[in-house]
Chains A and B, each alone.
Chain A
Amino acid sequence: MVEPIRVDPVSRRTVLKGIAGAAGLVSIPAIITACSTTPASTAPSAAPTSAASVPAATPGASAPPASTAVGTLSIGSYHTDPGEPQGQAAVNEAFTAATGILTKTNIVDHGTFQNQISNYLGGTPETAYTWFSGFRMKFFAEKGLSAPIDDVWAKVKGNFSEGFAQSVVGNDGKVYGIPVDYYPWAVFYRKSLFAEKGYTTPATWDDLKALCTKMQSDGLVPIAFGDLDGWPAMGTFDILNLRLNGYDFHVGLMAGKEKWTDPKVTAVFQKWAEILPFHAKDYAGLKWTDAATTLLNKKSGMYLLGLFMSGVFSETKKPEDLADLDFFAFPTLGTQYDDEAALDAPIDTWQIAAKSPNLAAEMDAAKAYLEFWSKGSTQSLFFKHQPGFIPTANDADTSTYTDLQKKAVEVVGKAKRITQFLDRDTRSDFAGPQGMQGFLQQFLKAPTGDLAALQKSIQAFWDQLPPL
Chain B
Amino acid sequence: MSGPAPSNASAPPGPSLSGADIVPAHRRRYSVLTRRDKTMMALMVGIPTLLCLFFIWFPTVVSFGLSFTNWQGYTALTGKNIIGLKNYEYLFTSYPFFWPAVWHNILWLLTFVFIATPIGIFLAVLLDREMRGTRIYQSAFFIPVVLSLAVIGFIWQLQYTSQGFINSVLGRTGQEDVIDWLGNPSLNLWAVLVAASWRHVGYVMVLYLAGLKSVDPTLREAAAIDGANARQTFFRVVFPVMKPINIVIVVVTVIESLRAFDIVYIINQGKNGLELLSVLITNNSIGEARLLGFGSAIAVVLLVISLVPIVIFLTRTMREEAA
Contact = CB atoms under 8 A, between A and B. Distances in A.
Interface of A: 6, 8, 10-11, 13-15, 17-18, 21-37, 40, 114-115, 117-118, 122, 143, 221, 228-230, 280-286, 290, 428-429, 432-435, 437-439, 441-442, 445, 457, 460-461, 464-467
Contacts of B258: 25
A216 B314 CA distance: 62
Given A32-B299, A285-B160, A115 B59 contact: no
A280 B173 CA distance: 12
Contacts of B244: 10-11, 13-14
A33 B284 CA distance: 12
A8 B251 CA distance: 19
Given A429-B288, A460-B90, A285 B162 contact: yes
B70 interface: yes
Contacts of A429: 72, 284, 288-291
Interface in B222-266: 244, 247-248, 251-252, 255, 258-259
Contacts of B50: none
B259 A24 contact: yes
B1 to A, nearest CB: 23
Contacts of A115: 286-288
A434 B275 contact: yes
B56 interface: yes
B104 to A, nearest CB: 13
Contact of A284 (B95, B182, B275, B293): B182
Contacts of B310: 18, 21-22, 25
B68 interface: no
A283 B183 contact: yes
Given A32-B282, A230-B272, 10 more contacts: A18-B317, A29-B300, A30-B55, A33-B62, A228-B182, A229-B269, A282-B175, A434-B275, A434-B284, A457-B96
Given A29-B303, A221-B175, A432 B284 contact: yes
A434 B270 contact: yes
A78 to B, nearest CB: 13
B72 A466 contact: yes
Given A230-B269, A282-B180, A437-B271, A28 B281 contact: yes
Interface in B279-314: 279-296, 299-300, 302-303, 306, 310, 313-314
Which secondary structure dominates chain A's binding surface? helix
A117 B17 CA distance: 74
Contacts of A435: 289
B175 A280 contact: yes
A461 B163 CA distance: 36
B171 interface: no
Given A25-B255, A284-B180, A33 B283 contact: no
Contacts of A428: 288-290
A29 to B, nearest CB: 3
B99 interface: no
A241 B267 CA distance: 29
B138 interface: no
8 contacts: A17-B251, A21-B255, A24-B255, A28-B306, A30-B63, A32-B282, A34-B59, A429-B291
Contacts of B37: none
A61 B176 CA distance: 60
A465 B294 CA distance: 9
Contact of A11 (B267, B268, B321): B321
A115 B97 CA distance: 23
A44 to B, nearest CB: 16
B111 interface: no
B48 to A, nearest CB: 11
A466 B291 contact: yes
A349 B68 CA distance: 37
Nearest to A139: B74
Nearest to A111: B287
A213 B310 CA distance: 58
Contact of A230 (B60, B176, B268, B314): B268
Contacts of A118: 73-74, 288, 290
A380 B322 CA distance: 78
Q: Which of A15, A36, A117, A467 has the most CB of B within 10 A?
A: A36
B270 A433 contact: yes
Contacts of A437: 271
